[in-house]
A and B are shown apart, each in its own frame.
Chain A
């Protein structure tokens, strides 16, 4: 990976039509950029879907990728951000062996120290959830892994809201509707 790359987060808004995800990911594939994480959900605007995509790239490349994505007919807006411009959250789920958790109090202490919550306990396994930034979730995983108690681990894609005041997309859509003849 080149030295001037960093992790960027793209926020993409599109119409809710089939096939858009394919079109968006194709823009990355064509330029040989890997998507690190991807989250798709309905946005606060009815009928509009929001994609949160992270990828390692340099500034020049991410700018081109963003414009190519926005060029797709049914994509409403695409913008890219660095971490300091966003409020970011991810979730981690950890499935642990109940026996080990009971017999080693350090494990429970680790869970508490990382501010994670226990979601379910049964005789065979315990499910722990942690919300936070990527590194917080990874750190808990590394810590738990030390005890050899992790049966399964998964981390969600990133979700993010911008630190600026409002979802500019609603403004954009209002302008567009206003320009309609």
Chain B
């Protein structure tokens, strides 16, 4: 407890069980009375503990903490560990374990957690004795939050929880084998600046690294000085305010049309804190072959991993961006920037307008997101589940403030939304809107219990089309319309909301949408807004999987 306190932990998401009982017993005192320094949020399933901690971490920028028991408690968190690893989310999971004397005996609720967590965590470690606690916990937090952040798993055998020692605080802020912040190479900085200064058609790709490095202002200065249009990855959506004039939209398979096509036309491509995921690049064999590629990343292993770069600047972008900016000439790329507009207009007419202002037919996801985005207070945090709800929400929401997006980008974890939104409400006083489909809503539906108990003010928008919509869309497009197990028989969500005592309203008719959204946003505490969505609403535009980014289609 004192080790967690020393790391500045305020909120713990957890679920008790046999092997972690000594820790929970100690926690009892630290969550009330004069010793109080933590809030403990009791979730309803360990997977939700870690997703909530992820949501908390993403919005607050602090390390998210999950506390669970051994065996199933620990393995239930692993989806979230893998999720946090792919999305670079700083996390510490503390899991109980059987006493070291019983390790390897297949004892009750024993699992080799360090072994199974190793390939999906930044670090995993077993605290075998009490005297290691201070060191291991401090090292865990240092590793989780420094450099490229990630999840750390601490396996905490029962004996180490009960051994009595004289408490000696330890602070780890140096590990000789781990270079968290690589030294900036000034030659690379000069090369990058020269390429950018000579570029006629520069394009920046902004990723979550900018948010993790807290370099949003440095990014703006960089882009504005050289007048570079910038696309943002899904996780980097709030790294550059969406109303910034240099923002040209979202990258990727379902991103914006112009920026996807322009990736194949630009002469210098500057990737900042992004990892060229296949969802961004499409076919890497043809991706941006005409361009000189500059890659700014804190993680050296990302360089040349998916896309070969001409200049790599391996450093924290908080440091590398200003270093490059200082060598840039003030520039104007008005003509190049204007060339996006025609394509933007094409997308607006063909895709956006029909999606957000449909004239007739059942409700569409785009118009629901757009209505919420327009009414939600400035700075609202968007949380999404995974699937069509995520793609529509990320496309049509707006992000004027930094750290405004929580979504499972890399792992694509259905069931992430609701618990992550719970976590987000403990990290901020801003409004938290969570878009989910009927599939993902039911994957962590038990967390309505946590929401009820905590009165966590999550505004849940359930976009119900009675389908696993994204898979259904792919079945229609690529699998000869054979809808194999994507149609769902759903429960009566109103009764479920009633059961948990959570405010609920259903919208089936377009004319009621705006009022319902207003009701949701003005109701204090949690709320479920269920929208009856057109069964075959498709996300567009789309780059079909494995195709080239300029093969993006506006219609099917």
Contact = CB atoms under 8 A, between A and B. Distances in A.
B177 A15 contact: yes
Give the contact-size bracket for chain A.
Answer: 20 to 34
Contacts, number: 46
A71 B301 contact: yes
A177 B114 contact: no
A64 B123 CA distance: 19
B118 interface: yes
A23 B176 contact: no
A78 to B, nearest CB: 10
Contact of A67 (B174, B179, B301): B301
Contact of A180 (B119, B123, B174, B300): B174
A19 B177 contact: no
Most buried by B among A22, A63, A64, A73: A73
A76 B174 contact: no
B143 A23 contact: no
B177 A14 contact: yes
B556 interface: no
Give the contact-size bracket for chain B.
Answer: 20 to 34
A64 B118 CA distance: 19
A63 B143 CA distance: 24
Contact of B123 (A26, A67, A73): A73
A71 B173 CA distance: 17
B133 to A, nearest CB: 17
A63 B122 contact: no
Given A63-B304, A64-B301, A73 B175 contact: yes
A76 B122 CA distance: 15
Interface in B99-150: 114-115, 118-119, 122-123, 143
B485 interface: no
B301 A68 contact: yes
A161 interface: no
Nearest to A68: B301
Contacts of B482: none
B478 interface: no
A71 B122 CA distance: 9
A65 B21 CA distance: 41
A155 B119 CA distance: 31
A73 B119 CA distance: 12
7 contacts: A22-B118, A64-B305, A67-B303, A68-B301, A71-B300, A75-B177, A181-B173
Given A23-B119, A76-B177, A176-B176, 9 more contacts: A19-B114, A19-B118, A22-B115, A63-B304, A64-B305, A67-B300, A73-B175, A180-B176, A181-B173
Q: Which 9 A-B pairs have the closest CB atoms?
A: A67-B301, A76-B177, A176-B176, A73-B123, A71-B301, A73-B178, A180-B174, A26-B119, A74-B177
Interface of B: 114-115, 118-119, 122-123, 143, 173-179, 299-301, 303-305
